[in-house]
Chains A and B, each alone.
Chain A
Amino acid sequence: MKANRAFLLPVIAAALAFLAYVLPTPSEPQRPPSRVAVTQVLYACPADKTITVAAGQVRRGTSSSATVLLGNGKDAALADASTWRTSVVDGQGVIVDQQGRRSGAGGFFAGKASKTDGGGLVVGSCSGVLDSAWLLGLGSGGKHFSTVSLTNLANSTAVVDLDLWGPDGEIDGVDTKGIVIKPLTTRRIRLDSLAAGETDLALQVLRRRGSLSAVVSDTSTAIFRGTEPVTATESPRRDQVVGGLVSGGSGRTLELLNPGSTTARVNVSVLGPKNTFTPSGLSNIKVKAGSVKQVTIPSAAGSDRMALHVISDLPVAATVRMAPSNTDYAYAEAVPPLAGPALVPVALGPSAGAPDLILSAPKADASVQVQAFDAQMRSVASKTVSIKGGTTQHLDSGQEFKGKAVAYLVVRPKGDVIGAATYAKGGGISSLALVAAPETVLGPQVRPLG
C-alpha cells in the first residue's frame, strides 16, 4: 500500500501538468484603440476679401477663437462657439481654435474665383492637422496650375515632404523634402516651382513635424476651366468609393494614382440610381507603376448622379474630375463611409447656394437623416433619405428646406453611406465630400507601467 501511495506522487505530478496543459492560458489581452471624445478642434481656412469663411459645430462648444494670419489679430465674428457664423477675413488665412467636448466643429470657405484664375465657384472645407494627404488632379503646366497652401497651426516649426507623380512616373521635384513652415504662418507653394510642365499631377503631402494643415487650390484655363479647392482623397487602397458625381454625361474624368512598383489593374463599377453596373471601358484599367492615369468615364456609365466603386489588385488612389460645363469643374474624392454626423454648410455667403446632397450606399441598404439648422443652431427641418444598397440617391436641400433660413445641415447616417454636397451657382460648381464631424477620434489604450 505504502509503495502504491509513493508511486502516486509522480502520477499526481503528471496529472497536474496535464491539467495545466489543457486549461486555457491567459492570452495577451487585446488593447485595440477606442474612441476618445474630442475636446479641441483646430483648423485653418484660406482667407481673402473675396472668400467667406464659415464656422459651425454639431454641438455647441464652450469657446472659440479665430486668429488671422499675418498680423495675428483676432476675428471676433468667428469667435462664438454656439452659433453658425460667417466672416470675410482680410488676411492670408485664419486659424480657428474651438473648445468643447464632442462639439464636432468644422470650418468651410466659399467664394468666386477671378476669371484670370479660371473663374468658377470655390467651396471647400477648412483643413485641420493632417498626417498625410493624397491629392489628385493637380497640374503644373498646360494652363493647369495648382498651389498648395501649408499652414502651421501651432507655435513650433512644422516640416513637410511633398511627393509628386505624373503620367510618366514619380517626379523628382526640386526642394520637395523638408519644407519648413514657421509657426502660425502659411506658406504657398506653386507646383510648377517644384515640377513644371505637368498637366496631370498627383501629390502626397507628408507631415514630418508640427501641426500642419494643407489646402490645394487648382485653377485651369485649359479644356476644363475653373477653380476648385482640391480635397485629399483616401490613401491608396484596393477598395474605395468615389461618391458625389454630379449628373451630366460628359466631362467626367477618373484620376488614378499607382504609387507602387508594379502595374495595377483597376476595375470600376458604377453605383447608379437604380443599381450597380460596370460599363465597358471601366474594367481592367492598367495603371503603370508610380504613375498617374486619367480615364474618361464613358457615356455608357450614364449621366445620372452616381458614385464609382474602384477595385484594384494593388493599392491605388482615385479622384474624379467633374466638368459638366466649360465654365467650372469640381472634384469628387474617395472617402470612407460616414462614421458619424457630417456638417454640411449652407449659409456660405453670396457665392454659393444650398447644396445638392448625393448619397450612395455601396453595399447594404442605408439611410440618412438630414437635419437643417438655422444660425442659432435650432433645428428647423428634417428629412430622411433611404438608399438602396448599391445605389445613389440625392437630396436637393435648397428645394427640400426652402424658406427655412437654413444655415447648415447635419447628415446622420444609418448604415454605410458615402456622400458629397455639390454646390452650383451661376455656372460654377464645387463639390464637398461628406466626412464625419470630429466628435471623437480613435485613441490608443493607455496604461501606466509604474
Chain B
Amino acid sequence: MDETSAARHWLDDPPTVAAILVAHNGATWLPKVLTSFAEMFHAPVAWQVVDVSSTDGSADMLRASFGSSRITYAPSGTGFGDAVRLGLESLPRTDWIWLLHDDSAVLPGTLSGLLDTATSASDIAVVGPKIREWPSLRRLLEVGLTITATGSRETGLETGEPDAGQHDRSRDVLAVNTAGMLVRRDVWDELDGFDHNLPLFFDDIDFGWRVARAGYRTRTAPTAVLFHAESSRKGTRRRTAGDVPHWEPRRAAIYTLLVNSPMPRFLFQYVRLFFGSLLRVLALLVAKDPESAGDELLALRSAYIHPFKLARARRRRSMSVRTHREMRHLLAAPWLPYQHGFDAAREAVMAVVRPEAIETVGRRSTILDQAPDDSDDLDDGPPFLARRPWLATVIVLIVLAAFASRGLQTGTLHSGALPPRPGSAGDWWRLLFEGSHDVGQPSSTLPPVFVIPMAVLSTPLWDHPGAVVSFLMLLAVPLSALTAHRLGRQITPHRLARIVWAVSYALGVAGIGAISQGRIGTVVALIVLPIIVNTAWQLAEKPGRQLALRLGIWIAVGSAFAPVVLLLSLGGLLILLYSEGKWVSRQLVVAAVVPLILLGPWLWQRALRPWRMWWEAGYPVPGSGTVVDVVLGRAGGPVSAPSWLTIPLLVLAVAAILPRRTRFAVELAWLAALLGLAVALLGTLVTYSTHAGPADIAPWVGVPVALWIGGLSTAVLLVAPEVFAWRRTPMLVVVVMALVLPLGLGAWWLGRGEAGPIESGVPSLVPVFLAERPGDTLVLTGTIARGVDYRVVAGGGPFLGQEAVSRSSGQNTELSAAIRRLLAQATAADVKELSAVGIDAIYAPDVDPEVARRIDAAAYLAPAGSDRPGSRVWTLSISQGHPHVSAPWWHRAITGAQLLFWLVAIIMTAPVRRRAVPEELDESEEDEVAV
C-alpha cells in the first residue's frame, strides 16, 4: 500500500515533534525559510534555534521570529551535532526530533509527509525528506544517501536530474541528510547523536550507519519535500573563523569509513584508503588541481594521525545488532568508485583538448545553476538542422564515411603504404622499449616517435589496436571536418560558409587519395593541421606560454606522423611573426623549440638527411605528383579525385584578393598557401632515400598540397561575408563555383569509396605458411635487367612502426652482396650466408623469370608451393643462424625520457584549477522559492 495515500492514523494520537534549527550566517536564506515554517499543516510542538556565532544578522532575524527564549547561542566552531545537543537541552522530551538547516525551506506538508513514513513501522528510527534544489526547485538533490568504498557521498541521482516522480517510492537507505532529518528521540539518545568528530560533513552518513547497525531503519519519505541550498557544500555561505577547513569533507569521509567498517574489512580499507588517497593526490596534481591535492593530503594526514581516536570511535561502535552482510545492500555498488574515476579522467582530458569547456573553479560550479526546465517548454522551436547545423553535418559526414568505407570496417587495414596493426598495444610499447628489434634483420634503430601516441591511444583497447588505426583512417573525413570547423570559428562568424569550408577541407583529405592509399601519416597530419593553425591563431590573439607550449605539442604530434609538418610549421611561425610582430617572438621560439625536444633523436637523425622529412609513418611508397597535379591540388598516386574540380577554387582565390577590407587577412591565407605550394613543388623535384638503403623515392606531397588548397579555400572563406552582400546573380555564380569542389569531391568519394589500394583482411607480406616458419623470409622484387629490391621479413611482416626500425644500409652491405651473388651465379656459399643471418625461405611475389632461373640453379634451395600465380617460393635446406644485435643502454633511457617529456609537456599545457570563491547570491533568485 502506498504510504503516502494511507489515512493518517497518527493524527488521532500525533507523535510529538521538537524542531531544532541550526543557523550560522544564514541571513541570505532565513527570510524564506522562516516564512515556510509558518505555513505547515502539522507543526512541531516545540522549537529551538541554535545560532552558531552568526555575524550577518541571522541572530536578529531569528530573535524576531522565534523570540529570545527559543534561541541558544553556540560558540564559533560548534559542529552541527553539538549544536543539536545544545538545542536539545532546552527542549522538552518529545517522540521525534526534527533537524533543520538555515538554508532549507519546507512545504506545508513536509512534516506530515515525514510522520506518515515515521509512524508506518516501529523500527523506523530516521526519516528523511525528498530534497530538491534551491533555487530551481525542480531538480532533485537527494532522496537518501549512501557512501562508496572510497568515501564518496552517493545519492544515486544524476546531476541535475529533474523530479518527475521517479523516486517517489519510500525505501530503506543507509542515511538521509541532516537537513529535514526526523529522528526518534530514544534512538538519538541511545546512539548519543552525531559523532563529535564529524562536525559538519558525513555526520548524517555515520549516524545512519550506526542506526542500521543498531537494528533500526532509515527510510525516505518522498511525499515530504524540502528545498536545500547546500550552502556549506557549495561554499556559498560566508566563512568565519572557526569554520571547518577545506579538507574537512575528505577527512570526514575517510573517518566515517574507517570507524564503521567491520573487521576484517577495516584492515583492507585502512590500507586501501591510505594508498588510494595518495593516488588521488597524484591524479589531482596531474589534473592541475594543486589545491585539491593539498586538501587530500591534509585530510589523509588528519585521519591517520590519530589512531587512538579511531580506535575509541570503533570501540564505541563495537556493539551491533545487525551484521555487515545484512546491511550491505544499503551501501553503494563496488564499481561506483571506478565510474567516478573514469569521469574524473575524462574531465582531465577535456581540460587539455577543450580547456574553454572546463570551469576552472573546481569540479562543481559555484555559479548558481540555471534552470533549463525542458518539461515546461512545450514549444518545439526550429528544426534540429536549423538549431544545430554543424552537429547535423558531422552526423551526416559520419554516416557518409561509414558508407564510403564499405568493405573496410572489418579485418585489419593495410596497403602498400600502411603496414598492418600489431597484435596488441603491448607490441607498440615493446617496440618503444626493446633494445633490439626483430624485424627480419635485427636492428637497434631508435623507434619512431609516432608509436608513442599510437601506444597510448590503443592501451585502453589493448587487444584491438587496429581500432585506433581504423578510427583514424575510416573517420578521417569527419575528424578533419571537426578540427577544421573549430578553426573556421576563428576565421568567420558566417556559419554556412565555414561549414562548407570545413567540409571542403575534410573531403580534400579523401580527394588527394591519402585514405585510399593508406597514408596514415598524411591523414593524421591533416587532422592535426587545423588544430595547429587554430592554436597559432589563439596565440596571436593572446600570447601566452601555455598556448605556445600547446602549439609546440600539436606541431610535434603532426610532425611525428609526417615530418614535413615541421618544415611547414616553421614556415607558418615565420608568417605569424611577420603578421604579428615581435610581441609574439618569445612564444614562437617556445613553439619552435618544443617539437625539437619532443621529437628528440629521431628528428635529429632526419635533420641530418633533410629529404627524409618526406618519409611519413608507414612504408615509404613513392608519390607521383607532377607540377600540374600539385597546382590543381592533387598529390599523384593511384587514387585521386579529378583535378579539374579545383579550377573554380583557383579562380575564386585570385578574385578574393580584390576586396580591400579583407585584403590583409587574404594575403596571410595566400602566404600560407604559397608555403604549401613551394614545399609541394620542391617535392616534385627531389628524391629521398630511407636509412635502409638508397632507393631514390619520389616524395608524396599530400600534406603541403592540402596546405596549398586549404590556404586558397581560407582566402575565399574570408571574403564570403562580402559576397553574400552582393546582388543575387553574381552571388549565385560565386556560390556555385565555390560548391564545385566540395560537391564534386563528395560525389567522387562516395561513388568510388575508400577501398583500394587500402584493403581490409588478413595482411601478409609473405604466404601464411612462410610466416609460420621459424626463420625469416627474403622477399625479392624487381628484375635482373632493372635491378632487384629485397626485404627480409620476420613472420608475416612488420607492423605499423616496425617499418621504420629496419637496419641501416651500412649494416646490410654483406647481405646485399650475398644476394647479388646469388642472383648472378648462385653458389652454396651464398646460400649459406643467407642462412647464417636467419633466412630460411625466399619469396618472389611477381617473379622475374630470369630471377627464378638463377635461384633455381642454387644449391640448398628447394622449390616450394606458393600462394598465387606468378610467384615463387624456395626454402633453404640448411639450418639458420640466429643473429642478434644489442642496442646501447641509452636507447631505452632516451625513449623513457621522451615519454616523460611528452607527459610533462601535456600536463603543463592544461589549465590550472583553483578553488571556488563563493559569490553573493542575487536577491532576485531568492524570490524563486515556490511555496
Contacts and interface: CB of A to CB of B under 8 A. Distances in A.
Given A129-B857, A450-B692, A9 B657 contact: yes
Interface in B762-807: 781-792, 803, 806-807
Nearest to A10: B654
A97 to B, nearest CB: 8
A156 B862 CA distance: 6
A127 B684 CA distance: 51
Contacts of B620: 450
Given A17-B681, A42-B827, A450-B691, 7 more contacts: A9-B674, A32-B785, A443-B823, A444-B785, A444-B788, A446-B819, A448-B809
A449 B857 contact: no
Interface in A400-450: 438, 441-450
Interface residues of A, number: 51
Contact of B858 (A19, A211, A441, A442): A211
A249 to B, nearest CB: 42
Given A207-B856, A443-B824, A449 B790 contact: yes
* 4 smallest beta-carbon distances between A and B, as pairs: A443-B824, A31-B787, A450-B692, A40-B827
Contacts of B663: 2-3, 6
24 contacts: A6-B670, A9-B671, A13-B673, A17-B677, A20-B685, A25-B684, A25-B685, A36-B821, A36-B824, A38-B824, A38-B825, A40-B829, A42-B827, A156-B860, A156-B862, A209-B863, A211-B859, A444-B782, A444-B788, A446-B819, A447-B787, A447-B790, A448-B807, A449-B693
A18 to B, nearest CB: 9
Contacts of A5: 667
Contacts of B784: 33, 442-444
A382 interface: no
Interface string A1-23: 01101110110110011011101
A259 to B, nearest CB: 17
A156 B785 contact: no
Contacts of A446: 787-790, 816, 819-820, 823
Interface stretch (B32-40, B474-482, B694-702): B694-702
Contact of A16 (B678, B693, B781, B816): B678
Contacts of B631: 13, 17
B534 interface: no
Interface in A18-54: 19-21, 23, 25-26, 28-33, 36, 38-40, 42
Contact of B856 (A3, A9, A208, A441): A208
A210 interface: yes
B657 A7 contact: yes
B861 interface: yes
B577 interface: no
Contact of B791 (A19, A29, A39, A449): A449
A208 B857 CA distance: 9
Which size class do B's interface residues fall under? Answer: 35 or more
Interface in B850-895: 851, 853, 856-863, 877
Given A39-B829, A40-B827, A443-B823, A156 B657 contact: no
A154 interface: yes
Nearest to B825: A441
A26 B695 CA distance: 12
A155 interface: yes
A131 interface: yes
Interface string B121-143: 00000000000000000000000
A439 B798 CA distance: 39
A75 to B, nearest CB: 19
Nearest to B780: A446
Contacts of B792: 448
Interface string B387-412: 00000000000000000000000000
B851 to A, nearest CB: 8
B685 A16 contact: no
Nearest to A130: B857
Contacts of A10: 653-654, 657, 670
A444 B783 contact: yes
B693 A156 contact: no
A155 B859 contact: yes
Contacts of A447: 693-695, 787-790, 809, 816
Nearest to A31: B787
B791 A448 contact: yes
A448 B682 CA distance: 26
Contact of B687 (A19, A26, A208): A26
Given A2-B663, A9-B670, A155 B860 contact: yes
B825 A448 contact: no
Contact of B690 (A13, A438, A450): A450
Given A21-B627, A210-B857, A449 B789 contact: yes
Interface in A133-160: 154-156
Contact of A211 (B671, B789, B857): B857
A443 B816 CA distance: 12
Contacts of B695: 447, 449
A450 B677 contact: no
Q: Which of B663, B783, B823 has the most CB of A within 10 A?
A: B823
A9 B712 CA distance: 11
Nearest to B698: A26
A12 B674 contact: yes
Contacts of A16: 674, 677-678, 681
User: Which of A10, A30, A32, A449 has the largest count of B CB atoms less than 10 A from its CB?
Assistant: A449
Contacts of A131: 853, 857
A370 B123 CA distance: 126
B76 interface: no
A210 B696 CA distance: 35
B333 to A, nearest CB: 53
B821 A39 contact: yes
B666 interface: yes
Contacts of B684: 20, 25
Contacts of A156: 859-862, 877
B828 interface: yes
Q: Report which residue of A9, A12, A442 has the largest number of chain B beta carbons within 10 angstroms of its beta carbon.
A: A9
A39 B825 CA distance: 9
Contact of B857 (A17, A99, A207, A450): A207
Interface string B842-854: 0000000001010
Nearest to A36: B824
Interface string A96-114: 0001000000000000000
B897 interface: no
Contacts of B240: none
A10 B690 CA distance: 35
Contacts of B790: 446-449
B825 to A, nearest CB: 5
Contacts of A23: 685
Contact of B787 (A6, A129, A154, A445): A445
B788 A26 contact: no
B610 to A, nearest CB: 16
Given A17-B627, A36-B820, A445 B788 contact: yes
Contacts of B690: 450
B686 interface: yes
Contacts of A30: 786
A20 B627 contact: yes
Contacts of A445: 787-788, 820
B693 A26 contact: no
Contact of A450 (B670, B791, B853, B861): B791
Contacts of B806: 448, 450
Nearest to B805: A450
Contacts of B694: 447
- Residue in B690, B856, B860 whose Cβ sees the most chain A Cβ within 10 Å: B856
A340 B95 CA distance: 123
Contacts of A438: 825
B591 to A, nearest CB: 25
A38 to B, nearest CB: 6
Contact of B693 (A3, A33, A208, A448): A448
